[in-house]
């Protein structure tokens, strides 16, 4: 079997969205699937990670990227006033009008490139992996153009984005347009892989009846942690990896940290919260008002290898998933699995009834507190501090059965089975 994997996120782009397609391309060839990858020449993504290695057994093809630079709206608006701010807002508004998303213009080069690669290489299956959802236009076009099967890999919900403000009429109107477009794009799909059951259920209502759907969750490559170690420290080191955008916010945790330090003077100078990822300007201002001093370190985006080393070296890993009107209940990002592989205690500020809390409870990996309840967060943070002072923040070793279940190789095997079917 010959596969063409189409992804907007690919090295040297960095961040969590790169890992799933990269690991598929790394492990599918060993399962007898000749793997070709189509990615942008330069996605203009906000994060770059030159240390990420390209898979040695896959062919990587590039199509010229046409589209906006990937910056967060809050960053583009920061510091702008008057006419300059109005012009930036107008530009952002025009980008929001694009459907399915602002990256749709990449299809002008990606679709012809995919058709050419399919003909020259004799491709049997095209796998399009989102976000962004517009990448599935490549799969739809290739399905129409020849005898190529199409599998859509959905890493995020298409219609229930946890970071959108659906209380706004304009956002709801765009969602209605996106739903009609999603049905049209997916009407030719041969199979769907989804990272959670929630996303699979959503897709079931968008694809033709009888289309095979399979939950192929995110996973982790345990080999990425080889050689990493946890070192003793006189500080309680709390580590969070990942940037803040949409409805994901560090503020409840930062407020709880301020309360902990005020109520426990003995912890002054002994707690260190490290954030490896970008803060929005408004969140930075909020943090400065709390005057956390040396207890807070905001280090910005770090390469994947550095982030993994920081996870392993942490005393406590901080996980933040917003409720987002119930849409956060289904989130199980790749970071959750990397936290589990680091085998350090996890302070999970996530919906207690959600998928992430369920997984962490099953594996006995840490404490769960509602992300919107600062009292509960402060209490959980206090328990973590007590355990640290008592010397009981031990490794949360994953049993072999869990390691096999969460391994990226297992995920590649599940995807290969779906494609062969």
79 pLDDT higher than 70: no
Helix extents (H) in 105-168 = 107-121, 136-145
More confident residue, 406 or 84: 406
Residue 12 contacts residue 44 (beta carbons within 8 Å): no
Largest Cα–Cα distance in the chain?
A: 69
Owner of token pair 């190529």? 148
Least confident stretch, 174-188, 204-218, 255-269, 393-407: 174-188
**Residue-wise pLDDT tens digits, 209-245:** 999 999 999 999 999 999 999 998 999 999 999 988 8
82 pLDDT higher than 70: no
In this prediction, residue 375 carries a pLDDT of 94
Distance from C-alpha of 369 to C-alpha of 348, rounded to nearest angstrom: 6
Tell whether domain 223-400 is in CATH 3.40.50.2000: yes
DSSP code string of 70-115: ---HHHHHTT--HHHHHHHHHHHHHHHTSSS-TTGGGHHHHHHHHH
Distance from C-alpha of 125 to C-alpha of 146, rounded to nearest angstrom: 11
407 pLDDT higher than 90: yes
Q: Which two tokens stand for residue 286?
A: 């909020």
Average pLDDT, the chain: 90
In this prediction, residue 326 carries a pLDDT of 82
Res. 267 pLDDT band, cuts 50 70 90: very high
Distance from C-alpha of 244 to C-alpha of 242, rounded to nearest angstrom: 7
Residue 242 contacts residue 322 (beta carbons within 8 Å): no
In this prediction, residue 77 carries a pLDDT of 45
Instruction: For residue 215, give the DSSP letter.
Output: E
89 pLDDT higher than 50: no
In this prediction, residue 90 carries a pLDDT of 47
Report the residue count for the chain: 421
372 pLDDT higher than 50: yes
Strands, E, within 123-270: which ranges? 125-130, 149-154, 191-194, 213-215, 236-241
Residues 24-60 as b/e (b if ≥16 CB within 10 A, e otherwise) read: bbbbbbebebbbbbbbbeebebbbbbeebeebeebee
Cβ contacts of 285 within 8 Å, gap of 6 or more: none
**Residue-wise pLDDT tens digits, 374-390:** 999 999 999 999 999 99
Residues of the chain with CATH 3.40.50.2000: 2-69+105-218, 223-400
Q: Which two tokens stand for residue 162?
A: 């946890």
Q: Which two tokens stand for residue 226?
A: 């080889």
In this prediction, residue 43 carries a pLDDT of 76
In this prediction, residue 80 carries a pLDDT of 54
**3-class DSSP string for 295-354:** HEEECCCCCHHHHHHHHHHCCEEEEECCCHHHHHHHCCCHHHHHHHHHCCCEEEECCCCC
Strand arrangement, sheet containing 58-63: 58-63, 34-40, 2-6, 125-130, 149-154, 191-194, 213-215
Supply angle C-alpha 361, 241, 264, rounded to 5: 75
70 pLDDT higher than 50: yes
Res. 183 pLDDT band, cuts 50 70 90: very high
Report the interhelical angle of 281-290 vs 251-263 (nearest 10°): 10
More confident residue, 113 or 88: 113
More confident residue, 102 or 19: 19
**Residue-wise pLDDT tens digits, 272-318:** 999 999 899 999 999 999 999 999 999 999 999 999 999 999 999 99
In this prediction, residue 83 carries a pLDDT of 47
More confident residue, 94 or 112: 112
State mean pLDDT over 64-82.
62
The count of other CB atoms within 10 Å of the CB of residue 359 is 19
Q: CATH second-level architecture of 2-69+105-218?
A: 3-Layer(aba) Sandwich (3.40)
In this prediction, residue 31 carries a pLDDT of 98
């Amino acid at each position: 079997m010959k596969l063409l994997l189409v992804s907007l996120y690919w090295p040297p782009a960095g961040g969590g969205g790169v890992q799933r397609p990269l690991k598929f391309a790394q492990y599918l060839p060993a399962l007898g699937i000749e793997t070709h990858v189509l990615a942008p020449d330069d996605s203009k993504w906000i994060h770059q990670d030159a240390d990420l290695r390209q898979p040695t057994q896959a062919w990587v093809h590039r199509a010229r990227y046409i589209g906006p630079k990937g910056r967060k709206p809050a960053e583009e608006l920061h510091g702008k006033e008057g006419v300059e701010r109005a012009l930036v807002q107008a530009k952002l508004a025009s980008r929001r009008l694009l459907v399915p998303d602002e990256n749709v213009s990449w299809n002008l080069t990606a679709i012809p490139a995919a058709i050419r690669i399919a003909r020259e290489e004799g491709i049997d299956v095209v796998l399009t992996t989102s976000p962004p959802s517009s990448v599935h236009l490549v799969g739809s076009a290739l399905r129409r153009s020849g005898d190529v099967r199409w599998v859509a890999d959905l890493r995020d919900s298409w219609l229930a984005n946890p970071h959108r403000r659906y209380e706004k009429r304009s956002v709801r109107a765009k969602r209605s347009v996106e739903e009609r477009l999603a049905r049209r794009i997916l009407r030719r799909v041969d199979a769907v892989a989804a990272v959670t059951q929630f996303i699979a259920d959503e897709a079931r209502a968008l694809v033709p009846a009888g289309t095979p759907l399979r939950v192929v969750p995110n996973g982790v490559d345990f080999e990425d942690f080889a050689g990493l170690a946890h070192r003793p420290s006189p500080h309680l080191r709390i580590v969070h990896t990942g940037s803040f955008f949409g409805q994901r916010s560090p503020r409840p945790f930062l407020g709880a940290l301020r309360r902990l330090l005020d109520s426990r003077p003995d912890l002054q100078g002994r707690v260190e919260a490290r954030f490896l990822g970008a803060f929005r300007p408004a969140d930075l201002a909020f943090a400065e008002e709390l005057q956390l001093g040396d207890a807070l370190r905001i280090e910005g985006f770090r390469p994947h290898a550095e982030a993994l080393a920081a996870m392993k070296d942490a005393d406590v890993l901080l996980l933040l998933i917003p409720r987002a009107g119930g849409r956060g209940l289904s989130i199980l990002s790749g970071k959750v699995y990397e936290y589990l592989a680091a085998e350090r205690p996890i302070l999970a500020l996530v919906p207690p009834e959600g998928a992430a809390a369920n997984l962490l409870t099953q594996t006995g990996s840490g404490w769960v507190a509602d992300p919107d309840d600062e009292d509960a967060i402060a209490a959980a943070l206090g328990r973590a501090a007590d355990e640290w002072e008592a010397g009981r923040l031990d490794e949360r070793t994953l049993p072999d059965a869990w390691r096999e279940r969460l391994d990226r190789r297992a995920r590649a095997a599940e995807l290969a089975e779906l494609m062969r079917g």
